[in-house]
Amino acid sequence: MKASAFSYTRASSVDDALEILALHGDQAKVLSGGQSLMPALNLRLSAPALLVDIGAIAELRGISVSDGVLRIGALTRHVDTLKSSDIAKHAPLLTEAIAHVAHPAIRNKGTIGGSLAHADPASELPACSIALGATIVVRGKGNVRRIPATDFFTGIYETLLSPEELLVAVEVPVAKPNSVHFFREYARRKGDYAIVGLAASGVLERDVFTDLKLGFFAVGDKPLLAHASQRLMGKSMTASMLADAQAALDDELDPQEDQEASASMRRYLARQLMEQCVVTLLGRPDLETRKLA
């Protein structure tokens, strides 16, 4: 199939893009790397009258660290995230996760802003953003909104972004001393979207989690920051604490059934990922219940 006819314009600055978006409202779509938008146009899942290409806006690029915050510009491509020493040092979860996003050709074009704005519930980066306590920075004409990632994602391909706004950056608190992270996903083949995945970050003090954020993906209509992690914190880990947290996690999940997996398989994999995360971060194989074949 081919895309419906559309007009195209290239914005020269954020202000220019916001003027155009304010004029055209939901008739316009922002184009970043095009790795999700172009397939959607070609499948006619989306048929905007106008594409606003923001790819040449220099102020949307760049990675910086200041006052304990890592700021990643919206147009930072996945390949740039993978290679950044600042991200590897201050948010190593992102470095590890990005290697699981699609394939090199897609990572050379796709951007972090595009991935977060697209809000695919099976995507790695939205789950990382909630696990890292990130803030999504959004600009409209004459206003800036700083939205906690935990509030930003509202449903399948849905966020708090309005059609007149641009996602301009994501801000992540730099990793604390004793920070730990875990990333794992089940996918049919390397580079496929996950069947179920977990992006986690935490702080370990003398083998006790004093902080633990578990960002599950592909388990519902948006990334899930599991409240069940509270049951894994503040005390030396036992098998019954872990089992209790797994049962609490099960109550929070609302997985879909599709051609990849049944809902019960997704629940099982999510519980397994929680266990693998705890076992790996604590170095406690004695907590392991059952290995997957």
Out of 117, 149, 274, 282, which residue is the one contacting ligand FAD (CB under 6 A)? 117
> What whole-number distance in Å separates Cα of residue 253 and Cα of residue 15?
41
Helices (H) and strands (E) in the chain, counts: 11, 14
Among 34, 140, 163, 173, binds ligand FAD (CB under 6 A): 34
What string marks each residue from 133 to 162 as x (binds ligand FAD by CB under 6 A) or -? Answer: ----------------------------x-
x-or-dash string of contact with ligand FAD, 46-85, rule CB under 6 A: ----------------------------x-----------
Q: Please tell me whether residue 123 binds ligand FAD under the rule CB under 6 A.
A: yes
Per rule CB under 6 A, is residue 111 in the interface with ligand FAD?
yes
List 41, 93, 132, 167, residue binding ligand FAD (CB under 6 A): 167
Nearest Cα neighbor of 169 from 66, 99, 41 is 66
What is the identity of the amino acid at 99?
A
Of 60, 24, 43, nearest to 162 by C-alpha is 24
Q: Which is nearer to ligand FAD, 78 or 231 (CB)?
A: 78
| Residue closer to ligand FAD (CB basis): 27 or 179 | 27
Does 33 interact with ligand FAD (rule: CB under 6 A)? yes
Of 193, 218, 231, 253, which one interacts with ligand FAD (CB under 6 A)?
193
36 near ligand FAD (CB under 6 A):
yes
Query: Where does this chain touch ligand FAD (CB under 6 A) — which range of 116-124, 144-152, 226-234, 282-290?
Result: 116-124
Is 220 one of the binding residues for ligand FAD (CB under 6 A)? no
How far is 279 from 55, CA to CA, in rounded Å?
42
Cα 106 from Cα 34, distance rounded (Å) = 9
Query: Near ligand FAD by CB under 6 A, which window of 111-119, 198-206, 244-252, 275-283?
Result: 111-119
Q: Nearer Cβ to ligand FAD, position 62 or 234? A: 62
Q: How many residues bind ligand FAD (CB under 6 A)?
A: 30
Q: Which of 63, 94, 101, 200 binds ligand FAD (CB under 6 A)?
A: 101
Collect all residues with Cβ–Cβ distance below 8 Å to 179 and sequence separation of at least 6: 201, 202, 203
C-alpha 164/C-alpha 190 separation (Å) is 36
Strand order across the beta sheet in which 224-225 lies: 179-186, 196-205, 208-217, 224-225
Using CB under 6 A as the binding rule, whether residue 129 contacts ligand FAD is answered as no
Q: Find, among 80, 54, 45, the residue nearest to 167 by Cα.
A: 54
Q: Which of 87, 97, 102, 149 binds ligand FAD (CB under 6 A)?
A: 102
At closest approach, how far in Å is the CB of 41 from ligand FAD? 9
Rounded distance between C-alpha atoms, residue 26 and residue 41, angstroms:
15
**Residues ≥6 apart with Cβ < 8 Å to 231:** 241, 244, 245, 248
Contacts of 152 (CB under 8 A, 6+ apart): 116, 129, 136, 159, 160
Do the bridges between strand 158-159 and strand 153-155 make them parallel or antiparallel, or are there none, so unpaired? antiparallel
The Cα 68–Cα 150 span in angstroms is 20
Which positions lie near ligand FAD, rule CB under 6 A?
A: 29-37, 39, 74, 101-102, 106, 109-111, 113-115, 117-118, 120, 123-125, 161, 166-167, 193
